Amino acid sequence: MKIVIIGNSVAAINAIEAIREKDKVSEIEVISDESYMAYSHPLLPNLVIGNISRSDKRFYYRSKDFYDKMNVKRVLGKKVVKIFSKNKYIALENNEKIEYDKLLITCGGTPFVPPMKGADLKEGVHTLTNIKAADKLKKDLPNIKKCVVIGGGLIGSKVAEKLAKYGIKVTLVELMKRVLFPVLDDTAADYVHKELKKDKVKLILEDSVVEIRGDKRPTEVVLSSGKTIDTDGVVVAVGVRPNLDFTKDSDIETNRGIVVDDYMQTNINNIYAAGDVAEAYDVIISAKRPVPVLPLAARQGRIAGLNIAESNIKYNGGFPMNSMSIGKVEFISMGIVDSEELEILKIEKDNEYRKFLIDNNRLVGMILVGNVERAGIFNWMIQNKFDVSWIKDTFLNSDFGWKYFDKAFRVLRLNRKIK
Amino acid sequence: MKIVKINEDNCVYCHLCEVACITEHSKSKDIIKAFKFEEKPIARCTVEFNYPVSFSSMCRHCDDAPCVEACQTGAMHRDERGCVVVDPDKCVGCWMCIMSCPYGIIKRDERREVWGLSTKCDLCPDREIPACVEACPNNALTFEEV
């Protein structure tokens, strides 16, 4: 059997490991338009300012000998242009054909650049979702004294913080009323706002960039409010969207992402998808949607790999989850973080913030700022729709732990007798 | 595989498991040096107390470990013994493992210069029986197949 994987990041690597657990003989071929070993995307802002180098093994997701050990053929620096599912082959940019018996699509997301005049300037306008973009921005740093970062999401906030630490005068423009809008609520985002201000990042909220002005490179940006900001560089970090470039004209079903069933298979037999490109089941909203977070990419990749290797393992669904630090503030959040209808428990004390959102005695979301160490227990409760009616009163205790659980349950759970 | 079994009825919250763990994971493995003269390790086990309940808990070394899946650099991995361990030279302290650990037993060590370090039970690779189990005076921790 020949297994072809499009993409070479978290989902692909976990799929390879899963396939090789079950199947040592099938051919595996990985195709990627990037020419690098799988690397850690969250570290790209660090790479830009020289916090980490390309020779640091921390930057890479697996060791150098991974592909050889797994007996995987790599076709790197080549773009896939089309999938021919009836004849089971894919076409590359250079018209090369690659045949497959089973295909896994893990091509991730592409940065979304909102329509604005001047976004096509040749120099000084950047995104930051891969090594190439990071190298380009890094090379351009000597030309940037002032920078506008568009979008206060996970990448935008992080890159604003890092560029400011590097000594650049940063202005962060965010459309919503707070940074990290779907990840944090007002109270938690305020901690981040304060940290960014400490680093002298200028925050402009509820506004957006409509035009980037300049001849060769940016000289100023114009906001929808009419304000202008002088700048020598722009980083667009509005978000990423599933990369559907080559599935558009195929018979693979797509919505916002590539739609997959509970086994990570698409509507076409023997074609699977996983990671940021996939639209899989979300347990909180009880529907399919793309949730582009690393732990889910890993899990989906693993499940796709196991099923490609003739297992029959179900994906139980996931939900958004993020762990991040900006300046000295660390936070972890999951699921729904803001609501008018849900039961909410929250407490803010001594630079710690805890918030829990509960729907019908099931935990559906939470935020921890500061004291994040027990976050995973809440992750487990959300995933398993655990009945929290008898324990939710203890969630706000900063020493929350297993000691508050019912004894019989705790004894079985801690000794791995209950999943 | 064998992990540390928790027998909470036997626990008298003496914290000797934590003392043994700190000593075992210190540079010298000497109790006085570990506590007074070297950088004191963070205990990989945690004693919880809510009278009359008390017990020590540490990594359960899950078969399908969510912390390994969540790790962004591959620092969290399974070693030859089947234990889930952290490679300190790979860890960047992003705490995605903390976000994912269904037992909530991973701790943060934020004392390194650049990167934080995820800290958890490694079942004492240099010993036959983990230090916490050996130190427990009342079999509240035992080393058993699960």
Q: Looking at beta carbons, which residues of chain B come within 8 Å of A407? A: 8, 53
- Of B3, B91, B94, Cβ closest to residue A42: B94
For residue A269, how many other CB atoms are within 10 A of its CB? 9
Whether B103 and B145 share a structural domain: no
CA distance B66 to chain A (A): 8
% of chain A with per-residue pLDDT over 70: 100
Kindly report, residue by residue over A332-389, the tens digit of the pLDDT: 999 999 999 999 999 999 999 999 999 999 999 999 999 999 999 999 999 999 999 9
pLDDT at A294 exceeding the cut of 90? yes
> Tell me, what's the pLDDT at B36?
97
Q: Give me the interface pTM, i.e. the ipTM.
A: 0.97
- Reading the block at residue B127, the tokens are 């010993």
Question: Among A175, A169, A230, A176, which Cα is nearest to A199's?
Answer: A169
Same topology, domains A125-238 and A330-414? Answer is: no
From CA A203, how far away is CA B7, in angstroms rounded?
53
Q: Does A61 touch chain B (CB under 8 A)?
A: yes
> Tell me, what's the pLDDT at A393?
96
Whether B45 and B1 share a structural domain: yes
Q: CB–CB of A414 and B60 under 8 A?
A: yes
Question: Among A339, A313, A321, A324, which Cα is nearest to A383's?
Answer: A321
The answer to whether the CB of A152 falls within 8 A of the CB of A143 is no
Kindly report the CATH number that applies to the domain delimited by A330-414: 3.30.390.30
Q: What one-letter code names the amino acid at A401?
A: G
Does the domain formed by A2-42+61-110+241-308 have CATH 3.50.50.60?
A: yes
pLDDT at A405 exceeding the cut of 90? yes
Kindly report, residue by residue over B69-113, the tens digit of the pLDDT: 999 999 999 999 999 999 999 999 999 999 999 999 999 999 999
- Reading the block at residue A240, the tokens are 């990423």
Range of the domain at B3: 1-58+126-146
pLDDT band at A221 (very low <50, low <70, confident <90, very high): very high
pLDDT band at B56 (very low <50, low <70, confident <90, very high): very high
Three state DSSP letters for B84-123: EEECCCCCCCCCHHHHHCCCCCCEEECCCCCCCEEECCCC
At the topology level of CATH, where does A125-238 sit?
Answer: FAD/NAD(P)-binding domain (3.50.50)
pLDDT band at A3 (very low <50, low <70, confident <90, very high): very high
Whether B53 and B77 share a structural domain: no
Decide: residue A225, CB within 10 A, 0-12 exposed, 13-18 middle, 19+ buried. exposed
> Tell me, what's the pLDDT at A265?
98
From CA A47, how far away is CA A43, in angstroms rounded?
6
Question: What is the number of domains present in chain B?
Answer: 2
> Tell me, what's the pLDDT at A249?
84
Kindly report, residue by residue over A114-125, the tens digit of the pLDDT: 889 998 887 999
Q: A122's torsion region: left (phi>0), alpha (psi -120 to 50) or beta?
A: alpha
Whether B48 and B101 share a structural domain: no
Strand, coil or helix: what is A329? strand
Q: Looking at beta carbons, which residues of chain B come within 8 Å of A43? A: 72-73, 92
Kindly report, residue by residue over A24-43, the tens digit of the pLDDT: 999 999 999 999 999 999 99
- Reading the block at residue A367, the tokens are 């935020």
pLDDT band at A15 (very low <50, low <70, confident <90, very high): very high
Domain boundaries, chain A: 2-42+61-110+241-308, 125-238, 330-414
Could you give the C-alpha distances from A337 to A209, A243, A282, A356, in angstroms and in order? 27, 27, 15, 8
> Tell me, what's the pLDDT at B146?
83
Query: What pTM was estimated for this model as a whole?
Result: 0.96
Q: Does B115 touch chain A (CB under 8 A)?
A: yes
Question: Among A167, A153, A159, which Cα is nearest to A126's?
Answer: A159
Q: What is the mean pLDDT of chain B?
A: 97
CATH number for the domain including B113?
3.30.70.20
CA distance B126 to chain A (A): 24
Q: What one-letter code names the amino acid at A302?
A: R
Kindly report, residue by residue over B18-46, the tens digit of the pLDDT: 999 999 999 999 999 999 999 999 999 99
Q: CB–CB of B98 and A373 under 8 A?
A: yes
Whether B88 and B140 share a structural domain: no
Interface mutation vs chain A, best among B42, B95, B97, most A CBs within 10 Å: B95
Question: Among A29, A45, A44, A36, which Cα is nearest to A90's?
Answer: A29
> Tell me, what's the pLDDT at A248?
83
Whether B54 and B11 share a structural domain: yes
> Tell me, what's the pLDDT at A418?
87
The answer to whether the CB of A294 falls within 8 A of the CB of B96 is yes
Q: What is the mean pLDDT of chain A?
A: 96
Whether B54 and B67 share a structural domain: no
Q: Looking at beta carbons, which residues of chain B come within 8 Å of A59? A: 73
Q: Looking at beta carbons, which residues of chain B come within 8 Å of A375? A: 95, 98-99, 104
Q: CB–CB of A375 and B98 under 8 A?
A: yes
> Tell me, what's the pLDDT at A260?
98
